Amino acid sequence: MFFVTVLHNTMKISPSVSNICTVVLVMITALLMNGCYLPSKGSSEQSPIFRVNQVGYLTNGQKQAVLVQPNRDSFEILNTNEQIVYTAALLPAATWQYSQEEVAIADFSDFQESGTFQLRSGGVKSHPFQINAKPYDNLLKASIKAYYYNRASTALEAKHAGEFARKAGHPDTAVQLHVSAVDTHGGKDQVIKAPFGWYDAGDYNKYVVNSGITTYTLLLALEHYESSLLDMKLNIPESNNANPDILDEVLWNLRWMEQMQDPNDGGVYHKLTTANFEGFVPPHDANSTRYVVAKGTAASLNFAAVLARSYHSLKEVDSVMAKRLLNKAEYAWSWASKNPHKAYTNSTEYPAVKTGEYGDKQLQDEFLWAATELYLATEDEQYLAAIDLEQFGHFSVPNWASVETLAIFSLASCPDLPNTFHKQVSDKLLQLAKAQVEKWRASAYRVPIDQFQWGSNSYILNQAMVMINAYRLVGHREFFEAAQSCLDYVLGKNATGYCFVTGFGVVSPQRIHHRLSEADGIAAPIPGWLVGGPNPHNRSQDCGLSYYPDTAPAKCYIDELCSYSTNEIAINWNAPLVYVAAAMKTLYEQDFNVAAN
Count Cβ neighbours within 10 Å for each residue of 546-562 and write b for 16 or more, e otherwise.
ebbebebbbbbbbbbbe
Among the listed residues 591, 593, 579, 575, the one whose alpha carbon sits nearest the alpha carbon of residue 214: 575
DSSP 8-state symbol, 265 = T
24: left (phi over 0), alpha (psi -120 to 50) or beta: alpha
CA dist 358 to 77, 293, 343, 353, 500, Å? 47, 12, 10, 12, 24
Question: Does the active-site annotation cover 568?
Answer: yes
- Report the alpha-carbon distance of residue 318 to residue 310 in Å, rounded: 11
Alpha-carbon radius of gyration of the chain:
24
Closest among 220, 209, 223 to 365, alpha carbons compared: 209
- Selecting among 101, 513, 514, 518, the annotated active-site residue is 513
Positive or negative: CA dihedral 11, 12, 13, 16: positive
Helix axes 297-314, 364-378, angle to 10 degrees: 30
**Strands 84-89 and 94-96, how do they pair?**
unpaired
Active-site residue flag, 183: no
Give the separation between CA 483 and CA 58, rounded to whole angstroms. Answer: 13
Contacts of 393 (CB under 8 A, 6+ apart): none
Q: What distance in Å separates the CA atoms of residue 14 and residue 8, rounded to the nearest whole number?
A: 10
Catalytic-labelled residue, pool 203, 245, 518, 559: 559
Going by C-beta distance under 8 Å and a sequence separation of 6 or more, which residues neighbour residue 352?
Answer: 275, 346
CA distance 510 to 5: 8
Measured on CA atoms in the order 42, 48, 125, 129, is the torsion positive or negative?
positive
Compute the distance between CA of residue 215 and CA of residue 252 in angstroms, rounded to an integer: 10
Query: What are residue 47's phi and psi, to 5 degrees?
Result: -85, 155
Distance of CA 108 to CAs 59, 68, 129, 322, 593, Å?
Answer: 11, 17, 13, 48, 17
Distance (Å, rounded) from C-alpha 211 to C-alpha 218? 11
DSSP summary character for residue 523: S
> Reduced to 3 DSSP states, what percent helix, strand and coil does the chain have, rounded to the nearest 5?
40, 10, 45
Beta strand 64-68 with 49-51: parallel, antiparallel or unpaired? antiparallel
SS3 118: strand
Amino acid at 36: C
Residue 262 known to be catalytic: no
Q: 568: which residues sit within 8 A by CB, 6+ positions away?
A: 201, 202, 512, 513, 514, 531, 532
Are the C-beta atoms of residues 225 and 582 closer than 8 Å to each other? Answer: yes
Catalytic site positions: 513, 559, 568
